[in-house]
Amino acid sequence: MTSTFANLVARRDLLWEITLSELRSSAQETRFGWLWWMIDPMVTMMIYWVVVVGIFGRGGQYAPYPIFILCALLSFKHFSGSTNASCKLLRRRGGLIKSVPFPTVVLPLSVVLSEFAFFLFGTLALLGAAWLWGRPITAALTQLPALMAAQLLFVTGVNLGIAAVGALVRDLSGFMSHFMRIFFYMCPTLYGVDMVAERFTKGALFQGSALAELVPTLYMLNPLAILFTGYRDAIFYGRFLEPQHWAVLTLESTAVFLVGYRIFLYFDRRVIKFL
Amino acid sequence: MSAGPQEAHAAAKPQPIIELRDAGVYFHLHRRSKINLRQAILRRQWISQHEVLWALRHVTFELYDGQVLGMIGPNGAGKSTLCLVLSQILQPDEGQVTVRGKVSQLVSLGTGFNSDLSGRANVRLCAAYLGIPRKEVDARIDEIIAFSELGDFIDEPMRHYSSGMRARLGFAVASSLDPEILILDEVFSVGDARFRRKSVRRIEAMMARCRLIAVVSHSSELLRRIATHCLWLEGGHLLRFGKAAEVLDEYDEAMGGTVDPDLEPDPA
């Protein structure tokens, strides 16, 4: 059964059941249960808080720093968590794919959706914490659903591509952890995009050259950079993301989704022979 | 592979339920010549050559309503690949396959289970993989659990199950399917002797409801009993296809005897 959209709609029960069972099994048989969904991002946040604020004495312009980085960390975790899982996903499920006909696209989709549930849960906690820390509740929060939709589209696209290629190229999962680490620092998770602009226009790097203007613009082509900025605008600063960023984000996440889905469909029929 | 529009005017002749036209499936072998950097530069041979193995080739046959197909042949003849093609998990690389009706292969669902979850949750999950609608699962779940004879264990996480219990639950779910076309790859029975007899009866009841059955077996005894037609595969090619008795006679002659090694009386 190929992973066409029609087949996916016909088997939406399956997508729901797999996602639900992933969520259930993540909370089953642990002392903290679903609290783990919150503990993970909180511990990560705490580590960076101690290192950046406590030890390096930085991040003063981004106070309260925990809220500032959580706006990006949760989103990044959705991206990295699902992408890491997707690398080996089809190979791990090879036995099932070779014995039962179902649209294999439900496997990466269920990973993205269950990670998204964790993300939603974390975001609720973040909103609570932001309110306690005295961040303003403004109309800017209405941007959240659109940001999440764009994130879902982008992460799904990446995961479909990675899942298909990962089934054929075994080396991919080895590269992935390194790539994720590099990408984490390339994204504005621990710092704001204003710092990138500042470094390039006022700092020593490329001073006065055309590159000084170009690099910050190029930097903002990364959809995650726009997303993180968007979450910060909505939750941390209480302002609206600039329209050109909305345009780029919509365009890019749609394109990534379509390309990822095409890649998955292209390899869909072949993948089974490599499992 | 659903029905095409050209069928309407062919009503006079009965439609074949399964139709294979010159079907072929190949696999890549990963046995390839190692390429080192020097060779790559000198010979400009960057891309290593894959060897291709045709697991099935030029396979053509038709099956009609009410027939039972037996598939025989030595190991590696392509029987399981043919099952994958018939159940539409694998698409042929050449030729055409048309299957008119809902196909299911009776499979062991071991790999589909999530060990952290209870048996009950896994019944739902596996039923969803098999494409049983949720309403039907709700209606049948008690019957499935009763058949598996797991009792109170059904609400325990599956990691506490013995392999026999897993197999029994898997069978109970897989055999609750109601396909029009049933595919059995090797005779399928699980559990202890008593459960085995029970599962054979269940498979027989399932077969009675089907329009068409395809069975893979090494036992020509069994196929003589249940099959109306037989196909003999060897090296991915269709050696013989026809009435079961004729094909099986030839096959037994070639293999040198009709006795099933499992049934052969112990010399001691």
Please indicate, yes or no, whether residues B132 and B160 belong to a single structural domain of this protein. yes
pLDDT at residue number B261:
55
Please indicate, yes or no, whether residues B40 and B122 belong to a single structural domain of this protein. no
B147 lies in some domain: yes
- pLDDT value at A38 more than 70: yes
Facing residue for B129 by CB, picked from A25, A29, A102: A102
Q: What is the mean pLDDT of residues A219-223?
A: 94
Q: Which residue has the tokens 């799904």?
A: A156
Smallest CA–CA distance from A102 into chain B, residue:
B129
B9 lies in some domain: no
Question: pLDDT exceeding 70 applies to what percent of chain B?
Answer: 82
Question: pLDDT exceeding 90 applies to what percent of chain A?
Answer: 65
Please indicate, yes or no, whether residues B31 and B97 belong to a single structural domain of this protein. yes
B64 lies in some domain: yes
- pLDDT value at B40 more than 70: no
Q: How confident is the model at residue A35 (pLDDT cuts 50, 70, 90)?
A: confident
Please indicate, yes or no, whether residues B94 and B143 belong to a single structural domain of this protein. no
**Is A28 within 8 Å of B157 when comparing Cβ atoms?**
yes
pLDDT at residue number B3:
45
pLDDT at residue number A103:
93
pLDDT averaged over every residue in chain A: 91
The answer to whether the bond into A64 is cis (omega within 30° of 0) is yes
Max mean pLDDT range (A95-109, A253-267, B64-78): A253-267
Contacts of A2 in chain B (CB under 8 A): 91
pLDDT at residue number B265:
57
Please indicate, yes or no, whether residues B218 and B232 belong to a single structural domain of this protein. yes
Please indicate, yes or no, whether residues B89 and B221 belong to a single structural domain of this protein. yes
Q: What is the mean pLDDT of residues A57-64?
A: 89
pLDDT at residue number B145:
93
Asked if B134 is an interface residue toward chain A (Cβ–Cβ < 8 A), one would say yes
B187 lies in some domain: yes
Q: Which residues contact A172 (CB under 8 A, 6 or more apart)?
A: A87, A162, A165, A166
Please indicate, yes or no, whether residues B89 and B220 belong to a single structural domain of this protein. yes
Q: What is the mean pLDDT of residues A72-85?
A: 95
Please indicate, yes or no, whether residues B157 and B69 belong to a single structural domain of this protein. no
B140 lies in some domain: yes
Q: Is A3 or B25 the better-scoring residue by pLDDT?
A: B25
pLDDT averaged over every residue in chain B: 83
- pLDDT value at A125 more than 70: yes
Q: How confident is the model at residue B234 (pLDDT cuts 50, 70, 90)?
A: very high
pLDDT at residue number B260:
55
User: Which residues are bridge partners to B61 per DSSP?
Assistant: B20
Please indicate, yes or no, whether residues B220 and B241 belong to a single structural domain of this protein. yes
pTM of the model: 0.87
Please indicate, yes or no, whether residues B228 and B172 belong to a single structural domain of this protein. no
- pLDDT value at B146 more than 70: yes
CATH number where B27 lies: 3.40.50.300
**Alpha carbon A47 to chain centroid distance?**
20
Q: Is A49 in contact with B136 (CB distance < 8 Å)?
A: no
Contacts of B131 in chain A (CB under 8 A): 11, 14, 101-102
Q: What is the mean pLDDT of residues B178-199?
A: 82
Query: Which of A117, A93, A95 is CA-nearest to residue A37?
Result: A117
B240 lies in some domain: yes
Please indicate, yes or no, whether residues B110 and B186 belong to a single structural domain of this protein. yes
Determine the structural domain holding residue B128 and report its residue range: 106-210
Please indicate, yes or no, whether residues B30 and B84 belong to a single structural domain of this protein. yes
Asked if A248 is an interface residue toward chain B (Cβ–Cβ < 8 A), one would say no
Alpha carbons A66 and A74: distance in angstroms, whole number: 12
pLDDT at residue number A111:
96
Directed axis angle between helix A65-87 and helix A144-168, to 10°? 30
Contacts of B114 in chain A (CB under 8 A): 21-22, 25
Q: Is A159 in contact with A260 (CB distance < 8 Å)?
A: yes
Q: How confident is the model at residue B9 (pLDDT cuts 50, 70, 90)?
A: low
- pLDDT value at A266 more than 80: yes
Contacts of B105 in chain A (CB under 8 A): 99-100
B204 lies in some domain: yes
pLDDT at residue number A249:
97
Q: Is the ipTM of this complex over 0.90?
A: no
Q: What is the mean pLDDT of residues A182-210?
A: 82
Asked if A269 is an interface residue toward chain B (Cβ–Cβ < 8 A), one would say yes
Q: What is the mean pLDDT of residues A233-245?
A: 95
**Is B128 within 8 Å of A28 when comparing Cβ atoms?**
no
Smallest CA–CA distance from B27 into chain A, residue:
A273
- pLDDT value at A201 more than 80: no
pLDDT at residue number A204:
63
B149 lies in some domain: yes
- pLDDT value at B69 more than 60: yes
Q: How confident is the model at residue A191 (pLDDT cuts 50, 70, 90)?
A: very high
Domain count, chain B: 2
pLDDT at residue number B46:
56
